[in-house]
Amino acid sequence: MSWDISKLGLNHKVDQIYFQSPMGFLVEQSVLHGGGKLTPGGSLRVLSGKFTGRAAEDKYVVMSPKTEKTIDWTNNIRKLTSAQFQDLKKDVLSALNEGPRLFAEAANVSAESKYALKVELYTNSAHHALFFQHLMRHDQFAHCPLGLMRIYHAPQLLADKNKYGLRSETVIATDFDANEVLIIGTAYAGEIKKSVFSSMNYILPELGILPMHSGANASEKGDVSVFFGLSGTGKTTLSTQEGRALIGDDEHGLSHEGIFNFEGGCYAKMIRLSQANEPDIYKASTRFGSLLENVVLDRQSHPNFDDDSIGENTRSSYPLSYIDHTLPGSKGKIPTTMFFLSADAFGVLPPAAKLNTNQVMYYFLSGYTAKLAGTEVGIQDPKAAFSTCFGAPFMVRHPGDYAKLLGEYVEKYKIEVWLINTGWTGGKYGVGKRFPLKTTRRLIDAVQNGELKNTKFHTDDIFGLAIPESVNGVDSKVLSPKNTWSDGDAYLQTAKQLAGMFHKNFEKFKNLNESVLKGAPIHH
């Protein structure tokens, strides 16, 4: 396929222009010219340089009469004028034109044709073109009703921060009116994916569609489960579930007709990946064409998924077709269950708790998980992380817009929502241990299979959460956090400390409906 790109200001100096390149060719180009290395299994390892994660402080949106009112500017989003954006775009086009090679790719986002967006990528980097192919969809829809979005990708260019009044030489800028994205000064591939996700999150709420930072899968009967969660909480791992078909691992939309995946691939976290615990992801990540980002290789070029010397955020991207059990068409019914995943390093949240309506809204707006303060030997204090809607950096509208939609869907379709702690038990990080994946999977299976419909629940004293008293295959002791701590006073102090953090974080939502506030922890 070929198209005329000269009207975009491209191809003036580029010697070679490649349109919709075959996967093998992009792998070859990355090895020859992009520093890529092939593993014995055929996966392509690349390094992203300075940035091994998102440049969260360098996200910009063009201010316009529309975006001024609809963007949540308090959400770490910087403002650009249209003139600044156009001047930066000229710099990007010059950089792309001066490169020896230009890769042009076109695809779509959204498995649902009614809510599809066409996306084009222009880059000098072969492996970023491959990443785009993996993560976007190739449905060949006759028409994409949401329009066309273009991404101009110049990872080697450093923006002139003084000339344009920027925070740094790195820029991820979106003009929602023109549907254009500039990515400058970072080679982290996730910026491409998240720019597209942010655009869908901006467009869809106006159509009554809930965009979700979540994984999703379906049973043989078609019952759908959704897994909300921040990075490191187990979203990809738990949605890739034995006996169920994967719809997608990270980005979905929910309409009154059902759920649909935005993406055509997965972007899985690799650190400490185990073939025994995650066989599907391991298999997909170690075959020809999969793209390993910042994964350490041993002397024989085999990937070492336990080595975090380059960074903790090692990644693999691959098409959905690399997973054996996926739902054809990447669309499903209205979900019957939703799981809010939190990796609680304080060790005080229960491994499973059923949420009432107020708690659903409260915990969705809180978007809680906990990060570890450091990786040095010895006990470290965990750090609470609150990310609204379990994906604040990508939810560019006001949080209430998304929460309102979630509430309407949950209430109308009687969706059961559970809080799942994939973090620590028996004490906080450094004292307790992380919940075994086997335990978390058993709890989720029990919810999905309807095993807990008639079980007895008790209410947690601190958080007011409904905790099942027994689950087949799980030691009843671990269901209530306070029973797993050897020091009861330490548990009480830590639980109240975390509850207080919830309350403090939620002060910014104090003007919301009073009923939502009833979902807060009881004591702090």
357: annotated active-site residue:
no
Neighbours of 13 (CB within 10 A): 12
- pLDDT at residue 380 is higher than 90: no
Share of the chain above pLDDT 70, in %: 98
Residues with Cβ within 8 Å of 7's Cβ and at least 6 positions away in sequence, in order, are none
Return the pLDDT at 514: 79
Catalytic residue, from 125, 236, 285, 494: name it.
236
Neighbours of 269 (CB within 10 A): 19
- pLDDT at residue 35 is higher than 90: yes
In DSSP notation, 431-452 reads: TSEEPPHHHHHHHHHHHHTTTT
- pLDDT at residue 379 is higher than 60: no
pLDDT band per the 50, 70, 90 thresholds, residue 511: confident
Return the pLDDT at 372: 66
pLDDT band per the 50, 70, 90 thresholds, residue 178: very high
- pLDDT at residue 1 is higher than 70: no
90: annotated active-site residue:
no
pLDDT band per the 50, 70, 90 thresholds, residue 266: very high
Q: How far is CA 475 from the centre of its chain?
A: 31
Q: Do 135 and 267 meet the contact criterion of CB atoms below 8 Å apart?
A: yes
Neighbours of 508 (CB within 10 A): 13
Residues with Cβ within 8 Å of 516's Cβ and at least 6 positions away in sequence, in order, are 358, 361, 362, 365, 403, 509
Mean per-residue pLDDT, 484-496: 96
Cα 264 to Cα 246: distance, rounded to the nearest angstrom: 12
The mean pLDDT of the chain is: 95
In DSSP notation, 117-169 reads: EEEEEEES-HHHHHHHHHHSB----S--TT-EEEEEEETT----HHHHT-SSS
Q: How far is residue 364 from each of residues 224, 283, 405, 467, measured CA to CA in Å?
A: 19, 33, 11, 18
Q: Do 179 and 375 meet the contact criterion of CB atoms below 8 Å apart?
A: no
Q: At 377, which amino acid appears?
A: V
Catalytic residue, from 89, 213, 244, 428: name it.
213
Catalytic residue, from 45, 128, 315, 397: name it.
315
Mean per-residue pLDDT, 254-266: 98
pLDDT band per the 50, 70, 90 thresholds, residue 378: very low
Report helix, strand or coil for 484: coil
- pLDDT at residue 253 is higher than 80: yes
Mean per-residue pLDDT, 438-467: 96
250: annotated active-site residue:
yes
Catalytic residue, from 118, 128, 235, 269: name it.
235
Catalytic residue, from 118, 193, 194, 252: name it.
194
236: annotated active-site residue:
yes
In DSSP notation, 253-318 reads: EEETTEEEES-SEEEEE-TT--TTT-HHHHHHHTSTT-EEES-EE-TTS-EETT--SS-S--EEEE
Looking at the whole model, is its pTM more than 0.85?
yes
pLDDT band per the 50, 70, 90 thresholds, residue 374: very low
- pLDDT at residue 373 is higher than 70: no
Catalytic residue, from 231, 255, 366, 484: name it.
231
Catalytic residue, from 91, 175, 250, 401: name it.
250
Query: What domains sit in the chain, N to C, each tagged with a CATH number?
Result: 6-207 (3.40.449.10), 336-517 (3.90.228.20)
- pLDDT at residue 376 is higher than 70: no
Catalytic residue, from 30, 39, 45, 54: name it.
54
Q: Which residue has the higher pLDDT, 232 or 278?
A: 278
402: its two tokens: 């998304």
Cα 308 to Cα 272: distance, rounded to the nearest angstrom: 9
Rg of the chain over CA atoms, in angstroms?
Answer: 23
- pLDDT at residue 512 is higher than 80: no
315: annotated active-site residue:
yes
pLDDT (tens digit per residue) in 334-370: 999 999 999 999 999 999 999 999 999 999 999 999 9
pLDDT (tens digit per residue) in 133-161: 999 999 999 999 999 999 999 999 999 99
Q: Which helix (H) or strand (E) holds 187?
A: none
pLDDT (tens digit per residue) in 405-435: 999 999 999 999 999 999 999 999 989 999 9
